[in-house]
């Protein structure tokens, strides 16, 4: 078992902090709605519907009674506070890691690959 895993990821918007962690029940709901495994669904993190669905799943563990619509409003608040889709995808990726879907070393490698791919795409344009 991996030692020293954080208990949750934190999403801070202004003065409000949300604890993020995806439970098994939320993971199953996300998989049902996307028709993909939780890991395969990450390929669609460029789609807002997917990102807000994962955010919804991550919020439910510690914030009671959050529905998808409320998760979309929280995402809008995040954008209004200066965040962007790419940053939110990274937060959700970290959330998947603290939720036990990746080991920290795997997550670091995948994040490095994603950053490399993103910087390559920026240089090409």
CB proximity list for 111: less than 8 A, separation 6 or greater: 90, 93
Q: What tens digit of pLDDT does each residue of 27-43 get? A: 999 999 999 998 888 88
pLDDT value, residue 103: 73
pLDDT of 67 strictly over 90: yes
Q: What tens digit of pLDDT does each residue of 90-123 get? A: 899 899 999 988 777 766 676 666 566 656 654 5
**Domains of the chain by residue range:** 10-124
**Helix (H/G/I), strand (E/B), else coil: 83:** coil
pLDDT value, residue 121: 53
């Amino acid at each position: 078992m991996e030692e020293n895993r954080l208990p949750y990821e934190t999403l801070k918007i202004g003065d409000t902090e949300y604890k993020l962690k995806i439970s098994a029940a939320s993971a199953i709901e996300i998989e049902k709605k996307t028709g993909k495994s939780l890991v395969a669904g990450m390929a669609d993190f460029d789609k807002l519907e997917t990102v807000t669905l994962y955010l919804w799943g991550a919020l439910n563990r510690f914030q009671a009674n959050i529905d998808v619509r409320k998760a979309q409003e929280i995402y809008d608040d995040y954008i209004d506070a200066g965040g962007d889709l790419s940053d939110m995808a990274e937060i959700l990726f970290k959330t998947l890691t603290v939720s036990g879907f990746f080991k920290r070393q795997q997550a670091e490698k995948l994040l490095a690959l994603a950053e490399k791919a993103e910087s390559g795409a920026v240089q090409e344009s």
